[in-house]
């Protein structure tokens, strides 16, 4: 048996115990290894930078004389805009590859998940490309978010009667 088992060699093996050993060796060889601590530090760093940028936008807009709520809305819009622009320039994917879960800061990650399929499928046209594919990732989030809020509303309404 070679050090790196071939998938065809595994499939051709008739002895089940040898097949299982070869398969486990194959899986171990093919599974990428990651440094969890380094990934957590990168995610914390990128997520922190995104949140700090959002706070900087809020402070900037408040400094321009806006109320807290208005400044926060404009800050969110700026983060969404930057996320979509970076997605269009294919820089958000690089950032996500480096920062991992840190780029899933809710507003920027959601904007990326809406913009990426739209950009990818624009060559298929406005209706069948962008229109059909724009919510392929974000659609289930919207659907289950609305549905779960409805279920919780019904539960709250029922519990009000007791």
Angle, helices 92-99 vs 106-120, to 10°: value is: 130
Q: Cα(111)–Cα(48) distance, rounded to whole angstroms?
A: 18
pLDDT-derived band at 32, boundaries 50, 70, 90 = confident
Q: Is the pTM of this model over 0.85?
A: no
For the chain, the C-alpha Rg in angstroms (whole number) is 24
Answer whether residue 2 shows pLDDT above 70: no
Q: Cα(25)–Cα(114) distance, rounded to whole angstroms?
A: 39
Give every CB contact of residue 102 below 8 A, 6+ residues apart in sequence.
Answer: 42, 43, 44, 45, 46, 47, 48, 50
Whole-number average pLDDT of the chain = 86
H or E stretch covering 70: helix 68-88
Three-state DSSP class for residue 23? helix
Q: What is the DSSP string of 113-155?
A: HHHHHHHHTGGG-IIIIIIHHTTTTHHHHHHHHHHHHHHHHHH
Percent with pLDDT over 90 in the chain: 42
Tens digit of each residue's pLDDT (9 = 90 or more) over 61-113:
999 999 999 999 999 999 999 999 998 898 998 998 999 888 888 788 888 88
Q: Cα(110)–Cα(106) distance, rounded to whole angstroms?
A: 6
State residue 1's pLDDT score.
Answer: 46
């Amino acid at each position: 048996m070679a050090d790196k088992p071939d998938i065809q060699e595994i499939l051709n093996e008739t002895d089940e115990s040898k097949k299982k050993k070869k398969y486990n060796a194959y899986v171990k060889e093919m599974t990428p290894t990651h440094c969890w601590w380094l990934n957590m530090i990168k995610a914390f760093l990128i997520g922190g930078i995104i949140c700090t940028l959002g706070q900087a936008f809020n402070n900037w807009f408040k400094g321009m004389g806006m109320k807290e709520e208005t400044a926060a809305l404009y800050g969110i819009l700026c983060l969404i805009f930057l996320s979509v622009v970076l997605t269009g320039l294919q820089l958000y994917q690089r950032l996500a590859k480096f920062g991992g879960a840190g780029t899933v800061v809710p507003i920027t990650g959601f904007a990326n998940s809406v913009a990426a399929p739209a950009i990818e499928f624009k060559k298929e046209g406005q209706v069948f490309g962008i229109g059909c594919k724009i919510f392929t990732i974000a659609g289930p989030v919207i659907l289950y978010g609305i549905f779960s809020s409805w279920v919780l509303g019904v539960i709250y309404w029922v519990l009000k009667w007791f």
